[in-house]
Amino acid sequence: MDDLRDKYLGLISDAADEAALEDLRVQAVGKKGEISLKMRELGKMTPEERQVAGPALNALKDEINSALSAKKAALEDVALDERLRGEWLDVTLPGRARRQGTIHPISQVTEEVTAIFADMGFSVAEGPQIDSDWYNFDALNIPGHHPARAEMDTFYMHRADGDNRPPHVLRTHTSPVQIRSMEANGAPIRIIAPGRVYRADYDQTHTPMFHQVEGLALDKDISMANLKWVLEEFVKAYFEVDDVELRFRASHFPFTEPSAEVDIRCSWEGGTLKVGEGDDWLEILGSGMVHPKVLENAGVDPNEWQGFAFGMGIDRIAMLKYGIPDLRAFFDSDLRWLRHYGFSALDVPTLHGGLSG
């Protein structure tokens, strides 16, 4: 009995975890455990032997059971200590200085633009940034030989050797989203499509990736007058001025006829830009009446539907509104710049609550 006792107390004290401890319990005092089997032998003993062996075995069983529960509690304590050490937190430390992230001006301006056009009944459409030659050019009435293709400084994707299909491109403008939206929803339609576009160009006012917002409105009787009104409303709301003068300059785009580039009256006094006054004009977008061929290419009947489209540089209007001089800084990820020009995450732009906080 002493051997049994020493053996099990030793094993229990060495048990590494609760599973090992449970194995020991089964081995010692489980139904077919060593001590339980010994207790069954009591029946074969003489009464005198039993009187000695019975209480001794019971005492042994009790001792093993309490060693098991003591060890179990100790193992649980060790596990808890380890967890507490891992999750330790000194609540008496002073608070850390606030290092909250900010909303990037491009995201902010995209939200502002979206809020303004949403108020005029435009919904937001999206398209892929890697698109086919067809969507980026041909469907927009820019055929293979057209000089606009070269002007776009297009990034072409590689095709596998032997694959002679025209390569996909990184979209050079958001205009292909016009085609995709018309294909998906037909007319009438009223959408804007903000997003990233790509051209191989890099200087103070050009980055190889930049942002545009496309607009498209088709119905039975939409005219240039509607385009003019929508853009005037937009510019007033966006620049947060009561009055603004726009200048529509005749221009040419393959996907619109007639086409116009739009400038706003502004002044540059002391290096800061003021919108709505002064003697300068600043180009902010291209626009026009959607070319019948473009409607046809997208499955919309040009004899039944007509409307306007425009494309505006988001980075450009962000620089203007928030006085950011170098476009390249937008994408440098310089934390000091981001803290300076960034916006609070809690200031969601709305027309009623204020666009820019």
* Residue set of the binding site for Mg(2+): 257
Q: Quote the least distance from Cβ 283 to ligand DAH, whole Å.
A: 11
287 belongs to the binding site for ligand DAH (CB under 6 A): yes
Within 10 angstroms of residue 280's Cβ, the number of other Cβ atoms is 13
Binding to ligand DAH in span 190-249, by CB under 6 A = 214
175 belongs to the binding site for ligand DAH (CB under 6 A): yes
143: nearest Cα among 252, 254, 251, 253: 254
127 belongs to the binding site for ligand DAH (CB under 6 A): no
Which span (27-35, 126-134, 250-258, 329-337) binds ligand DAH, by CB under 6 A? 250-258
Choose, by CB under 6 A, the member of 176, 254, 307, 311 that binds ligand DAH: 311
154 belongs to the binding site for ligand DAH (CB under 6 A): no
**Mode of pairing for the β-strands spanning 189-198 and 123-124:** parallel
Q: Tokens 């940034």 correspond to what residue? A: 129
Amino acid identity, residue 292? P
Choose, by CB under 6 A, the member of 286, 298, 307, 314 that binds ligand DAH: 286
Residue 98, burial from CB neighbour count under 10 angstroms (0-12, 13-18, 19+) = exposed
Using Cβ positions, the residue closest to ligand DAH within the complex turns out to be 311
Which span (67-75, 272-280, 284-292, 343-351) binds ligand DAH, by CB under 6 A? 284-292
Identify the sign of the CA torsion 132, 122, 151, 147. Answer: positive
254 belongs to the binding site for ligand DAH (CB under 6 A): no
DSSP 8-state symbol, 122: P
Q: Quote the least distance from Cβ 321 to ligand DAH, whole Å.
A: 20
308: nearest Cα among 230, 244, 224: 224
Tell me how far CA of residue 118 lies from CA of 67, 111, 123, 191, 242, in angstroms: 73, 10, 6, 9, 20
**Mode of pairing for the β-strands spanning 306-313 and 280-290:** antiparallel
Q: Quote the least distance from Cβ 244 to ligand DAH, whole Å.
A: 20
Choose, by CB under 6 A, the member of 253, 305, 330, 341 that binds ligand DAH: 253
The site for ligand DAH (CB under 6 A) is made up of: 173, 175, 214, 253, 255-256, 286-288, 309-311
